[in-house]
Amino acid sequence: MNRLLILGTALAALFVQPAFAQEQKLLNASYDVARELFVAENAAFVKAHPGVTIDQSHAGTSKQARSIVEGLEADVVTFNQSTDVDFLAKQGFVAADWNKAFPNNASPFYSFPAFLVRAGNPKNIKDWGDLARDDVHAIFPNPKTSGNARYTYLAATAWAKEEYKDDAEKIEAYITKIFDNVPVFDTGGRAATTTFVERGQGDVLITFEAETRGIEKQFGKDKVENVIPSVSLLAEFPVAVVDKVAKKHGTEALAKTYLEFLYTEEGQKIAAEFGHRVHNEKVAAEFKSQFPEIRLVKVDDVFGGWSKIQSEHFASGGTLDKLYGSR
Amino acid sequence: MSAVSSHRKPPRVGDNTVFRRALIGIVLVLVAFVIVAPLIIIGVEAFSKGWAIYRDTILHPDTRHAIMLTVLAALIAVPVNTAFGIAAAWAITKFDFWGRRFLLVVIEIPFSVSPIVAGVAYLFVYGLQGLFGPVLDAYGIKILFAVPGIIIASMFVTAPFVVRELIPLMQAQGRDLEEASTSLGASGFRTFFSVTLPNVKWALLYGVILCNARVMGEFGAVSVVSGNIRGQTNTLPLHIELLYHDYQAAGAFASASILALIAVLTIIAKVALERQGAGRVRKTAIPAEKTA
Amino acid sequence: MRRRNVLPGLPLSLGVTLFYVGLIVVLPLAALVIKAASLGPEDYWRIVSSSRALASYRVTVLSALGATVFNLFFGLSLAWVITRYRFPGRRIIDAMVDLPFALPTAVAGIALTALFANNGWFGSVLEGYGIKVAYTPLGIMIAMCFTSLPFIVRTVQPVLEDLDPALEEAAQSLGGSDWTIFTKVILPLLAPALLAGLSLSFARSLGEFGAIIFIAGNQPMSTEITALLIFIRLEEYDYQAAAAIASVLLLAAFTMLAVTNWLQSRALRYTVKG
């Protein structure tokens, strides 16, 4: 019995965590493929603010948002789609006008879905139209669980809208074709990368340009290469302070400083080094040669905003479910 | 050893040389493909980028923390489940009460329920939107996305392990010895420690070993409740997934090799126990309530 | 018939058991059921019988059946070889049977994927014959085979060991061929244990997640298992749907366990009598 008592006490000690504030500490809940980026950003930030620790958590942003609502105490979020921040706002964790709190729609950098093909581009994949060819198998994660793949789906739709002059039937046929040819649906962006690169599945990986550049760097141009389509969809990477948690932790000021740091020249430079396009003019000019020109369309212009997209495309019974159902 | 039975007797069924060799051959090949190959590929992939990468991965603070956390979870979950297992086995085998069979089924649920279901169920209890989450939060008690959640999820998944090993054996041994002991005036605890325990100690140890292996390796349930905070709530199996998706397949396999090593040690320990227990454990090892 | 029980410790041991089971097992599962029940019968039925959910049950159940049938033959042969024959390496093989129990499922998952992807050791050979394993239902089956193999071996093995040679001898002296003796004498004796092992193996396959998630293609309607569908519903913030589908898995697990216990109690009655 004694043993049980001791165990019980030990357990109790574990469950009740000290409530007093220790050193300044932030938890950044972020999207799946941002791991390396934030390792670098955090190191730079900590260097400028000694005594601060930044913890990282990475997963699909929908999972992250859900975890925060269930009790994951993240002080800030750095997501890859605004719907998940909106979800947090609706639940009262983030201010309703969060996208006014920081410049550029609270998005310190941006990117867009681009292609990564095997070295030499053996299937000659140049643009969105090629994805619907019979001999092309595209790899991207499940749009239901991955923000990354939502952009892919929307970018392909945006291209089709222009190409087929809003002919709904043709657009649907095109998207259906792409989905039918996807051999593996992973749950997150990184799992899809592994499937494409390490497991040799598919002919083209579709993910953020930032990611395709990173993969190219990581695995070498003799294995994979980056292809920029004719047009793509602007992907903003919204950031926000999770007010409810930050207030509890007393980290509101620090959280704000941290997110502001992402907008500084230093923060922007790191983002650019990891393949993100940035707004800071000086840094953008410096990395100009790395980033070819591309025409980017906006979610609001093409689809009329995220909430409309959510109900038309991604909600249960929406376009996406019909696509799955068609298989 | 019970194996002695097939010695110098007239040929038994299936002792035909051709059949015998063919069957052994097929089984060996299948074992090689199904069981040995996965083990080997872990080793091969772990060292595919060289010893230096392997060492760096293992010594990386995040990996070390993941190992520590995994060990901590095992240090708490295994003794608790052992104590529970003994209590449950004692209640179920030494007494008759209404609902005994049902209780046994309930205890075994975690065994065949998907770990994901377990994780989800815990969200509904301890999550901020769940039954107790808001109350616990008001008192500053964190369970989900923190170490306690990981431990509780591990306890769920491994709850039946010790009980399962003990029940068949304790059932087969009946109650006579214990009854004799208590009628001679020994206390319940004394009876347990000096009469029951010596008879079931190998089965108990085997259950503990399997329980430990499972706690250390649990993935599904823990992945739902962990929060994936690097260096804080990442257990070793989660860390493997993280590395696997971090362009570090070699690192993932390096971490996996630690768990594979634990698995192999588990099996060696089990074989050693069988030798000690002279076959007794083997017969009651897994579910059949069949006993010597 | 029933004697008065003189043993002490019922209140304590039963109390501890009920408290622990209540807290760790029943409470979360009850919360799950409550959540699912909050849907109302119509919505519940719509969710658990949607075409995608049905497809996921089909994939899960069919793969589990395939894996169990394969394990019936493989597991039985393995148990037979280990108990009836003496050959070098027998003890090692015997020990290795427990590896799938001891090896974390996630580790098994990445190892099997590395082996069976079309650039892996086995995958590259199989691809030459036009067989794809990783990212197809076959891959799900293989992962299930791996994780559930020990159940059949370990349930059959003790019965096989204790088989009375006299029975076989008697049958032999009556002139029965090996095959006849096996099917008419040995198999019936093994049947209860074999069935129990099969149902455990099947139940385990239904619930497997970690090993499968890596090797399955996770394609809705074709290689999406039920556990993954729950996961996806969660990611979509659709808690009630997740709970509803989870409750189906829970019911399946519960039924399988009840069946297993019933089979085992029959096996016990049988062997005690003999």
Q: What is the pLDDT of residues C208-231, one digit of tens each?
A: 888 888 888 777 778 889 988 888
Higher pLDDT, B179 or A260: A260
- Kindly state the average pLDDT of the residues A310-317: 82
CB atoms A200 and C119 under 8 Å: yes
Q: How many domains does chain C have?
A: 1
Determine the residue type at C261.
N
d(CA B170, CA B199): 8
Residue B277 banded pLDDT, cuts 50, 70, 90: low
C214 vs A191, A295, B103, C25, C249, CA distance in Å?
9, 36, 35, 27, 20
Q: Is C237 an 8 Å CB contact of chain A?
A: yes
pLDDT at residue A103, rounded to an integer? 92
- Share of residues in chain C with pLDDT > 70 (%): 95
**Chains interfacing with C (3 or more CB pairs < 8 Å):** A, B
Residue B274 has pLDDT above 80, yes or no: no
- Kindly state the average pLDDT of the residues C159-180: 85
- Can you name the residues that pair with A77 across neighbouring β-strands? A29, A240
Residue A86 has pLDDT above 50, yes or no: yes
d(CA A90, CA A81): 15
pLDDT at residue A12, rounded to an integer? 53
pLDDT at residue A2, rounded to an integer? 56
Q: Is C52 an 8 Å CB contact of chain A?
A: yes
**Which among A55, A57, A76, A91 is the top mutation candidate for probing chain B, defined by the most B β-carbons within 10 Å of its own β-carbon?**
A57
Tokens (6 digits) for B143: 């369970």
| Cβ burial A140-149 (10 Å sphere, 16+ → b, else e) | bbbbbbbbbb
- Kindly state the average pLDDT of the residues A86-107: 93
**Chain B residues touching residue A67 (CB < 8 angstroms):** 145, 227
- Kindly state the average pLDDT of the residues A111-138: 94
pLDDT tens per residue across span B220-231: 888 888 877 877
Within 8 A by CB and 6+ apart from A122, the residues are A203
**Chain A residues touching residue B126 (CB < 8 angstroms):** 71
pLDDT at residue A294, rounded to an integer? 92
- Share of residues in chain A with pLDDT > 70 (%): 92
For chain C, report the end-to-end CA distance as a whole number of angstroms. 22
**Which among A184, A313, A314, A319 is the top mutation candidate for probing chain C, defined by the most C β-carbons within 10 Å of its own β-carbon?**
A184
- Share of residues in chain B with pLDDT > 70 (%): 91
Domain residues for C99? 32-273
Q: Is C42 an 8 Å CB contact of chain A?
A: no
CB atoms C232 and A142 under 8 Å: yes
Residue C194 has pLDDT above 60, yes or no: yes
CB A217 within 8 A of CB A52: no
pLDDT at residue C76, rounded to an integer? 94
pLDDT tens per residue across span C233-267: 877 777 888 899 989 988 888 888 888 778 777 76
Element of type H or E holding A30: strand A25-30
Within 8 A by CB and 6+ apart from B13, the residues are C168, C172, C178, C181, C182, C186
Cα–Cα nearest to B38, from C131, C100, C89, C79: C100
Element of type H or E holding A183: none
Residue C184 has pLDDT above 60, yes or no: yes
**Which among A70, A90, A219, A223 is the top mutation candidate for probing chain B, defined by the most B β-carbons within 10 Å of its own β-carbon?**
A70
- Kindly state the average pLDDT of the residues C81-93: 90
Residue C5 banded pLDDT, cuts 50, 70, 90: low
Interface ipTM? 0.82
Q: Is A139 an 8 Å CB contact of chain C?
A: no
Residue C15 has pLDDT above 50, yes or no: yes
Q: Is A215 an 8 Å CB contact of chain B?
A: yes
Residue A20 banded pLDDT, cuts 50, 70, 90: very low
pLDDT at residue A17, rounded to an integer? 45
pLDDT at residue B41, rounded to an integer? 92
Question: Chains B, C: CB contacts under 8 A, how many?
Answer: 349
Tell me, what CATH number does C59's domain have? 1.10.3720.10
pLDDT tens per residue across span C105-122: 888 998 998 899 888 899
Question: Chains A, B: CB contacts under 8 A, how many?
Answer: 83
Second CATH level (architecture) for the domain A19-110+236-290: 3-Layer(aba) Sandwich (3.40)
Tokens (6 digits) for C72: 């019936």
Residue C85 has phi, psi (to 5 degrees) of -110, 150
Nearest to A194 among B127, B148, B244 (CB): B244
The reply to whether C23 falls in a domain is no
CB atoms A185 and C119 under 8 Å: no
The reply to whether C18 falls in a domain is no
- Share of residues in chain A with pLDDT > 90 (%): 55
- Share of residues in chain C with pLDDT > 90 (%): 27
Q: Which residue has the tokens 């068609």?
A: A326
Determine the residue type at C98.
D
Q: Which contacts of A43-49 are long-range, i.e. CB under 8 A and separated by 24 or more positions?
A: A44/A261, A44/A266, A44/A267, A44/A270, A45/A258, A45/A261, A45/A267, A48/A261, A48/A266, A49/A24, A49/A254, A49/A257
Mean pLDDT, chain A, integer? 87
CB atoms C218 and A185 under 8 Å: yes
pLDDT tens per residue across span A254-311: 999 999 999 999 999 999 999 999 999 999 999 988 898 899 999 989 998 888 888 8
Nearest to B227 among A14, A57, A191 (CB): A57
Alpha-helix residue ranges (DSSP H) falling in B139-232: 147-158, 160-172, 176-183, 188-191, 197-217, 220-225
Residue ranges of domains in chain B, CATH in brackets: 1-46 (no CATH), 50-284 (1.10.3720.10)
What is the strand order of the sheet A25-30 is part of? A53-58, A25-30, A76-78, A239-241
Instruction: Please tell me what DSSP assigns to residue B6.
Output: S
Superfamily of domain A113-233+294-325: Periplasmic binding protein-like II (3.40.190.10)
Residue B210 banded pLDDT, cuts 50, 70, 90: confident
pLDDT at residue A109, rounded to an integer? 93
Residue B279 banded pLDDT, cuts 50, 70, 90: very low
pLDDT at residue C180, rounded to an integer? 87
Residue A327 banded pLDDT, cuts 50, 70, 90: very low
SS3 of A202, please? coil
Q: Where are the domains of chain A?
A: 19-110+236-290, 113-233+294-325
Residue B173 banded pLDDT, cuts 50, 70, 90: confident
The reply to whether C5 falls in a domain is no
Low-confidence winner among B156-170, B242-256, C52-66 (lowest mean pLDDT): B242-256
Residue A51 banded pLDDT, cuts 50, 70, 90: confident
Tokens (6 digits) for C222: 């074709």
Mean pLDDT, chain B, integer? 84
CB A40 within 8 A of CB A274: yes
Within the 288-327 window of chain A, which residues sit less than 8 Å (CB to CB) from chain C? Answer: 316, 321, 324-325, 327
SS3 of B180, please? helix
Q: How near does any CA of chain B get to the CA of A228, in Å?
A: 22
Q: How near does any CA of chain B get to the CA of C258, in Å?
A: 6
C18 vs B98, B169, C26, CA distance in Å?
13, 21, 10
The Cβ-side half-sphere exposure at C187, using a 13 Å CA radius, reads 10
Q: How near does any CA of chain A get to the CA of C117, in Å?
A: 6
Cα–Cα nearest to A148, from A100, A201, A98, A186: A186
CB atoms A187 and C238 under 8 Å: no
Greatest CA separation for chain A: 77
CB atoms C28 and B121 under 8 Å: yes
**Which among B44, B112, B150, B274 is the top mutation candidate for probing chain C, defined by the most C β-carbons within 10 Å of its own β-carbon?**
B112
CB A103 within 8 A of CB A279: yes
Instruction: Please tell me what DSSP assigns to residue C120.
Output: S
